[in-house]
Amino acid sequence: MKDGWLKAAAVTPEVKVADPFFNAGEIIRASREAAERGAKLIAFPELSLSGYTCGDLFLQETLLKGCLEALERIRKETASIDALIILGLPFEYRGKLFNTAAVLQSGELLGLVPKLNLPNYSEFYEARHFAPGSEECFFIEYEGMEVPFGSRILFETGEGALPEGLSIGVEICEDAWGMVTPAESHAENGASVIVNLSASNALVGKREYRRRLFQMASGRLTAAYVAACAGKGESTGDLVFAGGSIICLNGQILSEAPLFQTSIIYADLDLEIIRSERRRMNTVHGFNPDFYGRCFISFEEADTRPEHPVGRMPFVPGNASLREERCGEILSIQAEGLKKRISHIGAKEAVIGLSGGLDSTLAFLVTLKAFDDLGLERDGIIAVTMPCFGTTDRTYNNAVSLARSCGATLKEINISRSVREHFADIGQAEDCHDVTYENAQARERTQVLMDLANMRGALVVGTGDLSELALGWATYNGDHMSMYGVNAGVPKTLVRHLVGFIADTSEDQALSGVLRDILDTPVSPELLPPSEGGISQKTEELVGPYELHDFFLYYALRYGFRPGKIFRLAEGAFAGEYEPGVIKRWMKVFYRRFFSQQFKRSCLPDGPKVGTVALSPRGDLRMPSDASAELWMKEAEMMANAGETEAS
């Protein structure tokens, strides 16, 4: 259960109506199969021990006694299974019959949770057979044991147990459909996982409604939802039950079962995501002082990890149609932010440094969209190319072609002479290719852009992206500064897809051709002299692969994960591409730079937030510039496996 992962299973078994011994055998078989796959939480449908469609047979002593005997068989035969098993059965107490969920672990009956909301409309008539359950938790005697009974019971790990943050609340079918649900109270009191035992019959359109119900409930409650649905074997006298179990986490569907089939679906629940979101969204969850029974559960610690590795690019949707939709939305957000700023200051022109690289290209394309939307002439976009010591023909020609193909005003200013004079003024040797040599060029370019904007009453559009800001890969008061940074919320891995999206969808073939060549150009600040006419300074060789840094950035900021957990995620995501030692090396670079470069982010210009991770000091990241990275660096250093090969 390392790093907060819990594998959950939702089972739709075959049932025989009113045959609890057959059903018990199916529950035991499925529990063993799920446990062998690593499931620690195994949920079965509502009344799965008897069948949901027993009708007035629920009033028969023979069926009720048979269910209790079958429950005992399950309890004993699953004693060796290290998992929490939750199943449904009719349970009689003091002359009343309850639609109940039984929670078992390692041969113990931990608790009984009755259904609160009994549907008694349309095709449902549960009030004919069952009494509504009690919210209050009290203890009843069962086979010589004191067992908690009631809706307000949480099944959770004790302090210091793994997985940390596991607290499970149980409800039954209609409980989730009401105006006020038990899950709300469970979540208020710390439940990170809601289990719903369901017997929802099939109707046209109902599956989609049920899917949205559990998906949105998991998002609204910031929780995982495991819903096990009844299916094959239920009586078809008047209704058909089709299964369709579903597992959701924080508004996302992780796994969904096919209809009209017996099935076991699995999902790896990352409980640390839930904990992180609840820490961050502190207005979502209150605290209900009403009494809650809490049952202790414990699992053997195992070095588990998700069965299916997370994607390599968390900022980029893997689905092509969703990625295209997302690209269009992001470009609109960027352009809308710039439009507002241009309109507010009454500018008719914008100045942008165009280098022929990806970031300035994206900023330029966003500026084009903003001008078109505002009805401003494109020649009001002053695209400035400023060749110097490191400029190559390829990037220069692409910058020129891009500006001309779009109707912008192209202005070329060679800054070599100005920089040399500056070197002379401060005593910098031109053959000393140190940080001063590089940063002097970046600051000269920024000065040119700012002064041109002053001359024309224009606005300087910034080009730096989110990944560069995270690493501090920007010259302070150089490319770090602008009057509005349109790329400030866009990570490098996404910049490439945004430019590619425009290249693929533009009707201007000349523009598409230029954009594709820019996409093929290595990322570089071009501040060092070319090598044999080509780029000599490749950013990713110096600071590390951006796909790794964006991966680290996402999980470090979005969920606050520890370096060790991010490393394990990266091992799975980048298996076959990067050795563990390489991942470790660049992770240490990431944390070292992220902490040491906060001073640059503390004084960023305005720019639009486009996703869930942002670095604005006025919004998402209020971090001291002199915070220590010691804890993070120490864990990053310790996380390597024995025998790792360090990157050279």
- CA-nearest of 412, 515, 10 to 228 is 10
pLDDT level of residue 644 (50, 70, 90 thresholds): very low
Task: Provide the annotated active-site residues.
Answer: 46, 115, 173
Average pLDDT value for the chain:
91
- CA-nearest of 207, 201, 209 to 241 is 201
Domain 2-297: homologous superfamily in CATH: Carbon-nitrogen hydrolase (3.60.110.10)
Report the alpha-carbon distance of residue 424 to residue 440 in Å, rounded. Answer: 12
Q: What is the pLDDT of residues 597-612, one digit of tens each?
A: 999 999 999 999 999 9
Q: What is the pLDDT of residues 153-197, one digit of tens each?
A: 999 886 544 456 689 999 999 999 988 899 999 998 889 999 999
Kindly write down the DSSP assignment for every residue of 116-182, as one continuous string.
S----STT--GGGT-PPPPSS-EEEEETTEEEEESS-EEEEE-TT-SSTT-EEEEEEGGGGTSSS-H
Centre a 10 Å sphere on the Cβ of residue 275 and count the other Cβ atoms it contains. 17
Query: How many whole angstroms from its chain centre is CA 115?
Result: 33
- As a whole number, mean pLDDT of residues 443-461 equals 97
The proportion of the chain whose per-residue pLDDT surpasses 90, expressed as a percent, equals: 78
The model's pTM: 0.85
Please check the confidence at residue 206 and state whether its pLDDT lies above 50. Answer: yes
For residue 534, the model assigns a pLDDT of: 64
The proportion of the chain whose per-residue pLDDT surpasses 70, expressed as a percent, equals: 93
CATH class entry, domain 320-638: alpha beta
For residue 642, the model assigns a pLDDT of: 33
pLDDT level of residue 286 (50, 70, 90 thresholds): low
Mean pLDDT is lowest, of 82-96, 313-327, 381-395, 531-545, for: 531-545
Alpha helices in 457-508 (DSSP H): 466-471, 492-505
Measured in degrees and rounded to the nearest 5, phi and psi for residue 382 equal -95, 100
Question: End-to-end distance of the chain based on CA atoms, in angstroms?
Answer: 34
For residue 278, the model assigns a pLDDT of: 86
Please say whether the beta carbons of 191 and 154 come within 8 A: yes
Report the alpha-carbon distance of residue 469 to residue 126 in Å, rounded. Answer: 59
Please check the confidence at residue 527 and state whether its pLDDT lies above 70. Answer: no
For residue 283, the model assigns a pLDDT of: 67
Q: In whole angstroms, how large is the CA radius of gyration of the chain?
A: 30
For residue 470, the model assigns a pLDDT of: 96
For residue 178, the model assigns a pLDDT of: 85
Q: What is the pLDDT of residues 411-438, one digit of tens each?
A: 999 999 999 999 999 999 999 999 999 9
Please check the confidence at residue 648 and state whether its pLDDT lies above 60. Answer: no
Mean pLDDT is lowest, of 17-21, 304-308, 562-566, 606-610, for: 304-308
Mean pLDDT is lowest, of 113-117, 541-545, 638-642, for: 638-642
Please check the confidence at residue 302 and state whether its pLDDT lies above 90. Answer: no
For residue 526, the model assigns a pLDDT of: 62
For residue 134, the model assigns a pLDDT of: 85
User: Where do the structural domains in the chain lie, given as residue ranges?
Assistant: 2-297, 320-638
Report the alpha-carbon distance of residue 581 to residue 138 in Å, rounded. Answer: 54
pLDDT level of residue 307 (50, 70, 90 thresholds): confident
Q: Quick check: do 2-297 and 320-638 share a fold? A: no
Please say whether the beta carbons of 267 and 249 come within 8 A: yes
- As a whole number, mean pLDDT of residues 112-117 equals 96
For residue 160, the model assigns a pLDDT of: 44
